[in-house]
Structure 1
Amino acid sequence: MTPSPTTGSHTTEPAPIDLRDPGELLAATPHLLGFEPSNSVVVVGHRGTAGTRIGNIVRADLPPAGGEADLARQLLGPLTHQSVAATVAIIGGRRPPGSAGPPAAAVAAAVGKVFEQAGLPVLHALWVPEIRAGAPWRCYEESCCAGHLPDPGSTVMAAVSAHAGLVTHSSRAAMERQLQPVASDVLARRAAMLSRRVGDGPRDDVASLRRGRAAVRTVLARAWKGTLLLSDTEVVELAVALSLPQVRDACLATALPAGSVGAVTAERLWLLLTKHTPAPERAQPATLLAYSAYVRGEGALAGMALDAAQAADPHHLLSQLLRQALQHGLPPEKLAGLAQSCDTRPIWTAPEDSESSNRPSASDPARRPTGSPDDAG
């Protein structure tokens, strides 16, 4: 499994969360990634002139013996754009027999060496057996640098994440299960319906574009009200609509402003369609899901959605471009320009409600960072 980034590129300075204490930073890791890591190496990039802001975060499985340097080079890529320093955390791993020091020391050493050669110093190298309240942690370099984790569920970071509506999953596998397709017989039935629709002839005329936009707009309005059950006919109609580049590109704009009521509503629909749409059409909603997740800093989910898109259609161009952006740690705010340039006429705008002005945006501290070797998270 390759490493993966999450991206924290905050553009404003609201209510900063103090993560300078190593224990606080380790306890915040599940909320920064979106899931609880285990047997992992996590590298946190630091941004700003003084390195006081969290930037991209990259996670990967602990490598087999001998693979430490290769993994360190993979981890470096997403952190080179804006990071001025880094912190590496080894989560899990067992102490070698007869050793009093933390395990996976070769991994920490390889990351430190590779990063230093690239001009990106590692400020801390930390180890913790697991992310749980009271777990002992310690530094690799200084034995007196040690402590015990606070309760990860009771930290300020946990509270801010919950307020922002960000879900922290129990594991990477649990996050990935969100995207599992529905039953194969359901997908086969819808694939047959889609095949008949495709055989009906050209679909890129003005009437088809109008019908496609209307189909998306109708379902988004319903989703905003909390209704997300879709019939076979609706799934097929939406798959046909999203197969039109003009409609799909207009849907990219629903991801902005990142973290807004409208963006959250649209992302829920793209997630549902990723599960309910057969291949190769599944690639379209999966790519929209990836884009929405990416611009709000959910790198792990973005990476998983891109995996789904490319499995459904290996030649899907937009998903390939997003994959490259994720692997190179392109800041989400730069990628947001893609949606801003796609369509001047919004396909749908969420109605104003009493809570919309109070919901955290993607620039709030709860926004998760990005980068990429395995999850983008």
Structure 2
Amino acid sequence: MTPSPTTDSRPANTAKVDLRDPGDLLAATPHLLGFEPSDSVLLVGHRGTEGTRIGNIVRADLPPPGSETALARQLLGPLARESVAVTVAVVGGLRSAGSAVPPATAVVAAVGEVFGKAGLRVLHALWTPRISAGAPWRCYEDACCAGHLPDPASTVMAAVSAHAGLVTHSSRAAMERQLQPVAADVLARRAAMLSHRTADGLRDDTTSLRRGRAAVRTVLARVWKETLHLSDTEVVELAVALSLPQIRDACLATALPVGSGRAMTAERLWLLLTKHTPAPERAEPATLLAYSAYVRGEGALAGMALDAAQQADPGHILSELLRKALEHGVPPKRLVGLASSCEAGPIWTAPDDDPDAGKPPDRPSPNSPARPPTEPPDGAG
């Protein structure tokens, strides 16, 4: 399974959070990843001239004995570009009965060796059995460097994440369940409708493009108003529209500006369509979801969406390109140009993106269940 980076930490354009204390950093990891890690090795990249800013974060399952060095090499890629140092954190693991030594020492040693050869020093190596209030933590090198975790749900990081509209899931599996397809019979019915619609091939003539853009605009406006039900006909119409490169590329631009009403609404639609669209057409909304999650720093969700896209259509080119970017830790800001160069004119603009319109209350997270607009709130990876 491939490690998935969470790039530049999740909450964007928000207040700075001081994570210099090891306990605070460990308690923040569920909010940085989007889910609570367990039996995991986490690598937190530090960037900036003095390494005082958090960059990419990667997580992987603890490896079996003998695989530590291979995993360390795999984890290096997403961190090598902009990190000047790393912090290693092990969550869980099997500790020998009566032993004062934390588990997974071989993993920490392998990371130190592999990263050291690449010019990245390990600032700190930490262990905790779990990410929960009061859980003990300690350093690998100094037994006196220890303490207990604060409540992860009551930290400044938790408040910042909630204010940014981000959901922190109880586990990676819980996050992944968001993308689980709807019932097989529903997908089969829609696949048959798609087959009938595309029997003569897709057309990218002016009429088809106008119809497709109108379909996308109509449903985005409904999702903005919290209307999330999609009929078979609407799913098929949107699947056909997103199969047209011009429309799919225009939809990439809905991810910008990051955190805007347009971006959050569009991401909710791409998530919904990823669940409701049959393969191979499912690859298109899944890739749009991946791109939107990627540019706002939610690498774990981006990786899951790319898995869904490539399972639906193994030869899908854009998802393959995004996968390579994710695996190599390409910063989100470098991918912004991909969307900004795709759109001749906005396919849809949310009401709160209009500077002359009054801004409504905070919107729910794009990857959360439907909620009232006033309620505050994405293996390895």
User: If the length of structure 2 is used for normalisation, what is the TM-score?
Assistant: 0.92
RMSD between aligned residues: 1.9
The answer to whether the 8 Å contact 1:164/1:360 transfers is: no
Letter of the aligned partner of 1:119 in structure 2? G
Mean Cα displacement is larger for which, 25-34 or 13-22? 13-22
Letter of the aligned partner of 2:246 in structure 1? Q
**Paired residue secondary structure (1:315):** coil
Task: Mark the CA change 1:147 to 1:300 in structure 2 (over 3 Å): closer, same or farther.
Answer: same
Partner of 1:45: 45
The answer to whether the 8 Å contact 2:6/2:33 transfers is: yes
Partner of 1:289: 289
Task: Mark the CA change 1:321 to 1:357 in structure 2 (over 3 Å): closer, same or farther.
Answer: farther
How big is the shift at 1:10? 9.2
Gaps of 5+ in 2: 366-377
Partner of 2:303: 303
Mean Cα displacement is larger for which, 12-21 or 263-272? 12-21
How big is the shift at 1:155? 0.1
The answer to whether the 8 Å contact 1:260/1:359 transfers is: no
Structure 1 residues 220-299: aligned runs within 5 Å: 220-299=220-299
The answer to whether the 8 Å contact 2:10/2:161 transfers is: no
Structure 1 residues 329-368: aligned runs within 5 Å: 329-352=329-352, 354-355=358-359
Partner of 1:374: 380
Partner of 1:315: 315
Partner of 2:24: 24
The answer to whether the 8 Å contact 1:9/1:331 transfers is: no
Letter of the aligned partner of 1:279 in structure 2? A
**Paired residue secondary structure (2:36):** coil
What is the alpha-carbon distance in structure 1 between the residues aligned to residue 17 and residue 184 of structure 2? 45
Letter of the aligned partner of 2:228 in structure 1? L
What is the alpha-carbon distance in structure 1 between the residues aligned to residue 135 and residue 308 of structure 2? 35
**Paired residue secondary structure (2:90):** strand
**Paired residue secondary structure (1:44):** strand
Mean Cα displacement is larger for which, 89-98 or 179-188? 89-98
The answer to whether the 8 Å contact 1:40/1:59 transfers is: yes
What is the alpha-carbon distance in structure 1 between the residues aligned to residue 9 and residue 159 of structure 2? 20
Q: Taking every aligned residue pair, what percent have the same amino acid on both sides?
A: 78
Gaps of 5+ in 1: 362-367
The answer to whether the 8 Å contact 1:89/1:126 transfers is: yes
How big is the shift at 1:265? 0.2
Partner of 1:94: 94
Partner of 1:209: 209
How big is the shift at 1:228? 1.1
What is the alpha-carbon distance in structure 1 between the residues aligned to residue 177 and residue 274 of structure 2? 12
Letter of the aligned partner of 2:94 in structure 1? R
What is the alpha-carbon distance in structure 2 between the residues aligned to residue 199 and residue 244 of structure 1? 15
How big is the shift at 1:98? 4.5
**Paired residue secondary structure (2:55):** strand
How big is the shift at 1:242? 0.2
User: If the length of structure 1 is used for normalisation, what is the TM-score?
Assistant: 0.93
Relative contact order (alpha carbons < 8 A, sep ≥ 6): 1 or 2 greater? 1
